[in-house]
């Protein structure tokens, strides 16, 4: 999977988003930020491609049908306004993707977009970091409203997902980031998630619980 994706996107700058279809994930805001990126930084035309995976979620609820229609409309508008015969800026996938395929996607991506409006820990951010090639790592663009932001702020680029142009500027910073800075940021992120693993979280939780019990 990784080798095939690497060959296919060797001439592209790949951006990746992976989550379930949910209002909390900020997907319309992300697509608008990507559209702003293409408008403000036309050097990305013909090269920057966003793969957005939005797995089905709560399909029977009408509000989620509206969200799906909004996303499909935004993707179609972006591709219609900016696409070429040999390049489509957005590849939108509304189905479940096998987990065994995700590490290859993470590894080949230049930038991961994890930009929820509000979220819990968000393990996708950590999976992206763990899958990177330390010699040529991608950059994590992370919402400051994600639970992982507090842990990963030392290496990720934090954004306010409500700020469309600001997010676009940060994505451009990620796309243009020189290799030494990418490597340094990735090293910080990887060291962080290795130290603060599930055992660290378990101990921290139980210690906090114990302290509160004593109080």
**Cα–Cα distance measured from residue 146 to residue 201, given in angstroms and rounded to the nearest whole number:** 17
- Output the pLDDT for position 124: 93
pTM tops 0.85, yes or no: yes
Beta strands in the chain (DSSP E): 13-20, 48-55, 90-93, 111-114, 139-143, 157-159
How is residue 169 written in tokens?
Answer: 């500027």
What is the chain's mean pLDDT, rounded? 90
Please state, in angstroms and rounded to a whole number, the distance separating the CA atoms of residues 72 and 62.
Answer: 15
CA distances from 19 to 30, 84, 160 (A): 12, 27, 18
pLDDT at 59: 63
State yes or no: pLDDT of 10 exceeds 90.
no
Tell me the mean pLDDT in the region 45-69. 86
Q: Which CATH architecture has domain 2-214?
A: 3-Layer(aba) Sandwich (3.40)
Confidence of residue 7 (pLDDT cuts 50, 70, 90): low
| Domain ranges (residues) in the chain | 2-214
The sign of the CA dihedral 199, 134, 182, 111 is: negative
């Amino acid at each position: 999977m990784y080798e095939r994706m690497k060959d296919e996107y060797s001439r592209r700058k790949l951006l990746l988003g992976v989550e379930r279809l949910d209002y909390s994930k900020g997907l319309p805001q992300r697509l608008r930020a990507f559209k702003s990126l293409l408008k403000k930084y036309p050097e990305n035309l013909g090269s920057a491609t966003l793969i957005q995976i939005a797995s089905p979620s709560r399909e029977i609820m009408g509000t989620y049908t509206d969200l799906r229609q909004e996303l499909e409309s935004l993707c179609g508008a972006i591709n219609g306004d900016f696409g070429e015969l040999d390049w489509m800026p957005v590849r939108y996938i509304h189905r479940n993707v096998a987990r065994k395929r995700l590490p290859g996607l993470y590894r080949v991506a230049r930038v991961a977009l994890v930009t929820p409006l509000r979220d819990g820990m968000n393990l996708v951010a950590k999976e992206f970091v763990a899958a990177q090639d330390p010699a040529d790592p991608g950059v994590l663009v992370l919402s400051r409203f994600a639970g992982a932001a507090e842990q990963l702020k030392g290496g990720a680029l934090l954004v306010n997902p409500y700020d469309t142009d600001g997010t676009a500027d940060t994505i451009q910073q990620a796309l243009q980031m020189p290799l030494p800075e990418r490597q340094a940021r990735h090293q910080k992120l990887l060291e962080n998630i290795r130290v603060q693993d599930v055992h660290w979280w378990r101990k921290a939780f139980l210690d906090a619980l114990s302290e509160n019990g004593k109080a």
